[in-house]
Amino acid sequence: DGGITQSPKYLFRKEGQNVTLSCEQNLNHDAMYWYRQDPGQGLRLIYYSQIVNDFQKGDIAEGYSVSREKKESFPLTVTSAQKNPTAFYLCASRGDSGANVLTFGAGSRLTVL
């Protein structure tokens, strides 16, 4: 079955540590996205990539970094510069339907201790 796989599902990190969240898709989609979800705030866009080796900052990119070396993979690194990293992180991809329809992974919950 085609879909998006995010790992790990749960992650605990000490303050000052960087952590990388994995996102892999087998949908053959060109565009991929990272969102952050906090209670009462909906989804906020961190980074997105429309093609391999290219990515753009979203609305809340500070303290995060990404890479897009392969079409299938779009890992997100939460750096120690991110002041409030505890959140639910969602990866998504978009196909060619022309309607901006996103397919989401199951999410990764990061908790900073």
Partner 1 sequence: QKEVEQDPGPLSVPEGAIVSLNCTYSNSAFQYFMWYRQYSRKGPELLMYTYSSGNKEDGRFTAQVDKSSKYISLFIRDSQPSDSATYLCAPSGTSYGKLTFGQGTILTVHP
Comparison of 48 and 78: residue with beta carbon closer to partner 1: 48
Query: What length is written for the chain?
Result: 113
| Residue 61 C-beta: closest distance to partner 1, Å | 13
Is 51 or 81 the residue whose CB approaches partner 1 more closely? 51
Least distance in Å: CB of 26 to partner 1?
A: 16
Residue among 18 and 57 whose Cβ is closer to partner 1: 57
Interface contacts to partner 1, rule CB under 8 A:
4, 6, 31, 33, 35, 40-45, 48, 50, 58, 90, 92, 94, 99-107, 109
Least CB distance to partner 1 at residue 8 (A)? 14
Residue 2 Cβ, how far from partner 1 at the closest point, in Å? 14
Return d(Cα 35, Cα 18) in angstroms, integer. Answer: 18
List Cβ<8 Å contacts ≥24 apart for 58-67. Answer: 58/33, 58/34, 60/36, 64/34, 66/34
**Helix/strand/coil for 99:** coil
**What does each C-alpha distance from 40 to 18, 19, 87, 91 come to in angstroms?**
26, 25, 12, 19
